[in-house]
Chains A and B, each alone.
Chain A
């Protein structure tokens, strides 16, 4: 069964460092997403991406965050200068279609980021 894979599964970093979280979406999917879950809190939408540009982003997704699809298979989330409050589980997801109701979201297992 096709699946979304994420690396690393856990990363520990110092405050102020740059972090790149990587995702390999399902191969024929065209829409990509990042969500995050701070420990004990809700899963929150960060950003959606289609056709090499951001479709929608939340208030959380400020200038410290960026996303990229550097090649045909990877989808990355970069945090330029990490803060303590960026500590969370980050989920990548992909779907074959964009509008909700037309396509199911497939989530990866998550990348846990710990900022010290």
Chain B
């Protein structure tokens, strides 16, 4: 069965510092991978997605993620965090046959210190 693990429940970084949020997935075939962000009082917003091709994908708000098949990982990175990045981040996986049936991780809550 497909699953997604986000090992870090909470992360705190200082504004301007770099960020890496971890995501590991379990899926037999080539996965479709996503990162969503949820700001307080907001819905889930897609940051980026990986379907195929270049394993380093760029997203909105200066985020990027790298797909590493050997490690079953899809970590999210940002070189310099802004206070407005404080939110909850969800990694998700889907299979090619599913009608947008996403399997989500538990989420990582990011706090940003000034």
Interface residues on A, range: 20 to 34
The answer on a CB contact under 8 Å between A104 and B98 is no
The answer on a CB contact under 8 Å between A99 and B44 is no
* A43 touches B (CB below 8 Å): yes
Main secondary structure of the interface of A (DSSP, over half): strand
CB within 8 Å of B: which A46-76 residues: 48, 50, 55-56, 58
Assess A48 versus B100: contact at CB under 8 Å? Given A100-B95, A101-B51: yes
Number of B interface residues in the complex (CB < 8 A): 26
* Bound Cα distance from A100 to B102, whole angstroms: 9
Say which one of A12-20, A78-86, A106-114 lies at the interface with B.
A106-114
Assess A109 versus B46: contact at CB under 8 Å? Given A41-B106, A45-B103, A95-B100: no
* B76 touches A (CB below 8 Å): no
The answer on a CB contact under 8 Å between B42 and A109 is yes
* Bound Cα distance from A73 to B86, whole angstroms: 33
Return A11 CB to nearest CB of chain B, in Å. 16
* A115 touches B (CB below 8 Å): no
**Which B residues contact A (CB, under 8 angstroms)?**
32, 36, 41-46, 49, 51, 90, 92, 94-107
The 8 closest A-B pairs by CB, nearest first: A107-B44, A43-B104, A107-B43, A100-B94, A109-B43, A48-B99, A55-B99, A100-B100
Q: A31-B100, A58-B101, A100-B96 are in contact. List 12 more A-B contacts (CB 8 A).
A: A31-B99, A33-B100, A35-B102, A43-B107, A56-B99, A91-B44, A100-B94, A100-B100, A101-B32, A105-B100, A107-B36, A109-B41
